[in-house]
């Protein structure tokens, strides 16, 4: 009887963990691939050329989160240094309530993503949820990679909910730390 109860308890825990999907969903699986490819400047996930001007070149990403509106890789020069970013528009809709719900869902899929870079130590994508307000034009959650060492210290991951005036959009960004510093200076 004890063995049967113990077996049922273990089975229940196993099904609960699998149902939650904290470590096995398509959003964090794709994010893991993107972050792992950051050291090679996304060359393994870079697709066809979309556009190019003097300061930036945009490519289609060959991997994307299922249901994404668009996913691009941008190469640019920031403060006389090459920079690269991966951006996916994960939602576009007219209602704040729909956007807010999807934003929270995506946050829960992203948090605790484990990334094991080739030849490096595993890092965990960690962040604090910020409840968006319909009165704000944007809400940004900046994730940390813990414990980040080596090149992983240069990676930034953000989840952004933005009101474009016509629609609410949700962006997932993976980019160079230098770009975050420039954005912080220019958004003041």
DSSP-assigned states of every residue in 144-181: EEET--GGGGGEEEEEEEEE-SS-EEEEEEEEEHHHHH
How does the average pLDDT of the chain come out, rounded?
84
**H-helix segments, 38-170:** 96-110
| Rg over CA atoms, the chain | 19
Q: Picking from 120-134, 142-156, 170-184, which range would have the lowest pLDDT averaged per residue?
A: 170-184
How many C-beta neighbours within 10 Å does residue 104 have? 14
Specify the pairing of strand 81-93 against strand 123-126.
unpaired
For tokens 């829960």, the residue is: 108
pLDDT at 96 > cutoff 90: yes
Q: Picking from 5-14, 96-105, 134-143, which range would have the lowest pLDDT averaged per residue?
A: 5-14
State pTM to two decimals.
0.82
Binned at pLDDT 50, 70 and 90, residue 150 comes out as confident
Q: Which two tokens stand for residue 149?
A: 């060492």
| Distance separating alpha carbons of residues 162 and 170, to the nearest angstrom | 6
| Distance separating alpha carbons of residues 16 and 55, to the nearest angstrom | 49
Residue 153 and residue 147 in contact, taking contact as beta carbons nearer than 8 Å: no
Q: What is the dihedral of CA 92, 107, 126, 61, to 10 degrees?
A: -40
Q: List all residues 6 or more positions away from 126 whose beta carbon is below 8 Å from its beta carbon.
A: 111, 112, 143, 144, 145, 146
HSE on the CB side for 51, CA within 13 Å?
Answer: 6
């Amino acid at each position: 009887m004890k063995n049967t109860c113990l077996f049922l308890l273990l089975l229940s825990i196993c099904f609960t963990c699998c149902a939650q999907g904290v470590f096995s969903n398509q959003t964090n699986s794709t994010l893991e691939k993107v972050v792992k490819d950051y050291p090679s400047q996304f060359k393994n996930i870079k697709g066809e050329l979309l556009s190019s001007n003097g300061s930036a070149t945009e490519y289609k990403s060959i991997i994307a989160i299922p249901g994404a509106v668009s996913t691009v890789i941008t190469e640019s020069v920031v403060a006389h240094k090459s920079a690269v970013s991966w951006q996916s528009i994960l939602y576009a809709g007219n209602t704040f309530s729909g956007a807010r719900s999807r934003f929270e869902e995506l946050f829960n899929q992203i948090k605790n993503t484990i990334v094991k870079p080739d030849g490096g130590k595993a890092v965990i994508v960690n962040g604090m949820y910020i409840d968006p307000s319909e009165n704000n034009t944007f809400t940004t959650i900046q994730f940390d990679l813990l414990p980040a060492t080596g090149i992983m210290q240069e990676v930034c991951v953000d989840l952004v909910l933005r009101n474009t005036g016509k629609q609410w959009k949700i962006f997932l960004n993976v980019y160079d730390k230098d770009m975050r510093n420039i954005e912080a200076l220019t958004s003041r």
